[in-house]
């Protein structure tokens, strides 16, 4: 295992459908018709069980009310959980999408494993797309993630991706339920089977995003406004020991707003400034990091938080 991406028989535990994605990781499938195919190609066929915890040493005393989550094929301990925690197997989490895929409502696009199996994900592409300014295309995705270490619930959230630059646009819609969250309890299975409720939520929120993105494009931004927008996301700290680092970030984003991928569609607008931030986070913030490290950050970690803040600040400027 390297770079926090799990491997099976020397291959990255990851799959993708169609064209090679920016991260260039995983097994390519021409078409993933079912969750079973995605699971096999991405090395997600393992199961997780709860096992009693015991203290080290000859006595081996049982630790009450706490259990280890263990991957059965490798016997790797993935985390420590409480008595109410119920593992949700990868096949159960994924097959929630099978009814959507079977009816042409979505296609499996990317799936993979991080760490020893602590976190898994599935990216499903929905039909249709958002058009910004006529020909700037944003494709609609749902990102399902599940953890086996007790750190996260099952989550299904909107993950728009701007085609021209492959930026993942982390969003935060104020006052709206914007993701499905399922706790690891005995009732989790029933909630996972309600896939069409997920689709209904996604359609509603993507319609809202269509309006927001186009309003961003209509709001013109002078250089000083772009600079203030970036500073609101990456605030300056006079006491910082590395002020040059913050200044270099500001300069890099300002440059991307002028000359980045897709700038010809959006230069001089709030939409362009917002995408300059997402392009910086996804493609330039960790220039020497492995693709899987960047992927983890941009979807689940600090990169996702920065992009969420960039969206919130931008929406605030529309009001």
pLDDT tens digits along 196-230: 677 787 888 899 999 999 999 999 999 999 999 99
Query: For residue 250, how far is the Cα from the chain centroid?
Result: 24
Same domain, 71 and 40: no
Which of 9, 25, 8, 262 minimizes the C-alpha distance to 123?
Answer: 25
Whether residue 161 has pLDDT greater than 70: yes
Which of 100, 114, 171, 105 has its CA nearest to residue 145? 114
Is the predicted pLDDT of residue 178 greater than 60, yes or no?
A: yes
- The answer to whether residues 35 and 127 belong to one domain is yes
Overall residue count recorded for the chain in this entry = 319
Q: Does 98 map to a domain?
A: yes
Q: Are residues 252 and 195 in the same domain?
A: no
Residue 2 included in any domain = no
Answering whether pTM is above 0.95, one says no
Over residues 145-169, mean pLDDT = 85
Tokens (6 digits) for 111: 């799936």
Helix (H, G, I), strand (E, B) or coil at 62: strand
Between strands 179-182 and 154-158, the pairing is antiparallel
* Higher-scoring residue by pLDDT: 72, 300: 72
CA–CA distances in Å: residue 225 to residues 63, 129, 169, 317: 57, 29, 21, 10
Q: How far from each other are the two terminal CA atoms of the chain, in whole angstroms?
A: 47
Give DSSP secondary structure letters for 246-287: HHHHHHHHHHHHHHSTTHHHHTTBHHHHHHHHHHIIIIISST
What H or E segment, with its residue span, contains residue 141? strand 136-147
Q: Are residues 265 and 295 in the same domain?
A: yes
Domain assignment of residue 20, yes or no = yes
Q: What is the mean pLDDT of residues 12-29?
A: 70
CA 126 – CA 109 distance, rounded (Å) = 10
Please give the Cα distance from 224 to 122 (Å, whole number): 40
Asked whether residue 57 falls in the same domain as residue 76, the answer is: yes
For residue 94, the model assigns a pLDDT of 80
Domain span at 23: 7-46+88-205
> Which are the contacts of 63, defined by CB distance < 8 A and separation ≥ 6?
52, 53, 54, 55
Phi-psi region of 57 (alpha: psi -120 to 50; beta: other; left: phi over 0): left
The total number of structural domains in the chain stands at: 3
**pLDDT (average), residues 167-187:** 72
**pLDDT confidence tier of residue 2, bands split at 50, 70 and 90:** very low
Please tell me whether residues 309 and 221 are part of one structural domain.
yes
Task: Tell me: do 188 and 158 sit in the same domain.
Answer: yes
Percent helix, strand and coil across the chain, each to the nearest 5: 40, 25, 35
Dihedral (C-alpha) 170, 174, 177, 179: value to the nearest 10 degrees? 10
**Concatenated DSSP letters of 182-228:** E-SSTTHHHHHT-HHHHHHHHHHHHHHHHHHHHHHHHSB--HHHHHH
């Amino acid at each position: 295992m390297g770079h926090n991406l799990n491997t099976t028989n020397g291959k990255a535990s990851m799959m993708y459908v169609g064209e090679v994605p920016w991260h260039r990781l995983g097994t390519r499938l021409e078409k993933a018709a079912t969750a079973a195919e995605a699971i096999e190609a991405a090395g997600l066929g393992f199961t997780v069980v709860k096992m009693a915890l015991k203290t080290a040493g000859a006595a081996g005393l049982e630790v009450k009310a706490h259990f280890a989550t263990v991957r059965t094929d490798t016997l790797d301990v993935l985390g420590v959980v409480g008595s109410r925690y119920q593992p949700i197997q990868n096949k159960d989490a994924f097959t929630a999408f099978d009814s959507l895929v079977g009816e042409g409502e979505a296609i499996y696009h990317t799936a993979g494993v991080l760490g020893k199996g602590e976190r898994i994900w599935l990216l499903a592409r929905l039909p249709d797309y958002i058009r910004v300014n006529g020909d700037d295309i944003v494709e609609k995705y749902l990102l399902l993630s599940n953890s086996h270490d007790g750190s996260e619930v099952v989550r299904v959230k909107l993950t728009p991706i701007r085609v021209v630059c492959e930026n993942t646009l982390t969003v935060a819609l104020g006052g709206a339920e914007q993701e499905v969250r399922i706790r690891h309890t005995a009732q989790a299975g029933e909630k996972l089977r309600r896939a069409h409720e997920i689709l209904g939520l996604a359609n509603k929120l993507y319609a809202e995003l269509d309006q927001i993105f186009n309003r961003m494009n209509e709001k013109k931004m002078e250089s000083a406004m772009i600079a203030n927008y970036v500073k609101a996301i990456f605030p300056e700290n006079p006491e910082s020991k590395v002020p040059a680092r913050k200044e270099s970030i500001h300069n890099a984003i300002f440059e991307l707003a002028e000359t980045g991928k897709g700038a010809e569609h959006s230069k001089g607008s709030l939409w362009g400034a917002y995408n300059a931030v997402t392009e910086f986070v996804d493609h330039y913030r960790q220039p020497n990091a492995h693709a899987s490290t960047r992927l983890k950050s941009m979807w689940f970690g600090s990169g996702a938080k920065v992009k969420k803040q960039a969206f919130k600040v931008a929406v605030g400027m529309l009001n």
